Structure 1
Amino acid sequence: MNQPGFSLGPRRHPRRMSLTPMIDVVFLLLIFFMLSSRFGLDAVLPIAGGAEGAGSEWQGAPRLIDVAPDAVLLNGVETAQTDLPDALRPLMPDDGGAVILRPRDGADLQRVVSVMDALTVAGFGNIILVE
């Protein structure tokens, strides 16, 4: 078929590749990652985790705070959240022992965090959260 005088016509230039589909994909990925990422800072709650299974000696009077949906109880006695630090101070040992915080059924997380914040602001830094 390679005969002299046989021509396939003028030589065509290769077609340029369009960048439009690639740009569309890049913008779709950009929108996806912007919508799926979180821009806020996460708050860190300092909670004592205990001594990793090792026993430790309890110091002083019991300091158990139950956070219920409608009340805060210190050692079983209902106490207002604002009065909690003053009621807790006489129970603390001199070297700053731990305070046990126990959320009860139905108590929401925001209520537990607000009690923890109130205790931390009042100077009680060693808070143990139990189930």
Structure 2
Amino acid sequence: MRLQAYTPSPPASNRLALRPRRRQLISLTPLIDVVFILLVFFMLASSFLDWRSIELNTPGTSQGGERLEGTLLIDIRPDGLRLSGETLSPEALILRVVELLAKDPERRILVRPADGVVMQETVTLLDSLSAAGVTDLSLIAPSAN
């Protein structure tokens, strides 16, 4: 009888190491799913409000020589609102403007925000004046004081 030496086979981990590994393909399906879910989320979370615009008269080259008699000047300052130099609350200012426009509907209104005034205050006042029926409304730059 002849004896042969036993040689064990290589372990399974070595057998796998001997074979060339195949690269796994990255699937784009989950990425596309996430993009569509985000798209739907932002579409549903967005608000599509009906934005209102405020009509303003912009100064042109021909407006330099216009008469300013009877024009109302509203100053928006950090300490409050002033109508032709008189400090008023926003409600009182709107009432006074409506009262003055009832006497003379052709009156022009100039709104001048001061430096340091938050833009939202100016927009709120312009919106309130527009809602009160003011049609001849102009926004002017602050004076250089």
Is the TM-score greater than 0.5? yes
1:111 maps to 121
Distance change (3 Å), C-alpha of 1:26 and 1:64 = same
Answer yes or no: is the 8 Å Cα contact 1:100–1:128 preserved in 2.
yes
Which TM-score applies when normalising by structure 2?
A: 0.59
Answer yes or no: is the 8 Å Cα contact 1:60–1:93 preserved in 2.
no
Which TM-score applies when normalising by structure 1?
A: 0.63
Please point out which of 96, 101, 111 is paired with 1:101: 111
4+ residue runs of structure 1 moved beyond 4 angstroms?
Answer: 32-38
1:74 maps to 83
2:61 maps to 53
Q: 1-side partners of 2:27 and 2:136: how far apart?
A: 59
Amino acid at match of 1:53: T
1:118 deviates by 2.2
Identical aligned residues as a percent: 21
Q: 2-side partners of 1:116 and 1:38: how far apart?
A: 26
Distance change (3 Å), C-alpha of 1:39 and 1:121 = closer
1:19 deviates by 9.6
Distance change (3 Å), C-alpha of 1:35 and 1:103 = same
Q: Which runs of 5+ in 1 are unaligned?
A: 1-17
Structure with larger Rg: 2
1:9 maps to none
Answer yes or no: is the 8 Å Cα contact 1:65–1:75 preserved in 2.
yes
1:62 maps to 71
Is residue 64 of structure 2 the alignment partner of residue 90 of structure 1? no
Distance change (3 Å), C-alpha of 1:120 and 1:32 = same
1:34 deviates by 5.7
Q: Which runs of 5+ in 2 are unaligned?
A: 1-24
Aligned residue pair count: 112
Amino acid at match of 2:32: V
Amino acid at match of 2:82: L
Q: 2-side partners of 1:93 and 1:59: how far apart?
A: 17
Q: CA RMSD in A?
A: 3.2
**For 1:97, what is the secondary structure of its paired residue?**
coil
Answer yes or no: is the 8 Å Cα contact 1:100–1:127 preserved in 2.
yes
Answer yes or no: is the 8 Å Cα contact 1:62–1:75 preserved in 2.
no
2:8 maps to none
Q: 2-side partners of 1:120 and 1:105: how far apart?
A: 23
**For 1:54, what is the secondary structure of its paired residue?**
helix
Is residue 27 of structure 2 the alignment partner of residue 27 of structure 1? no
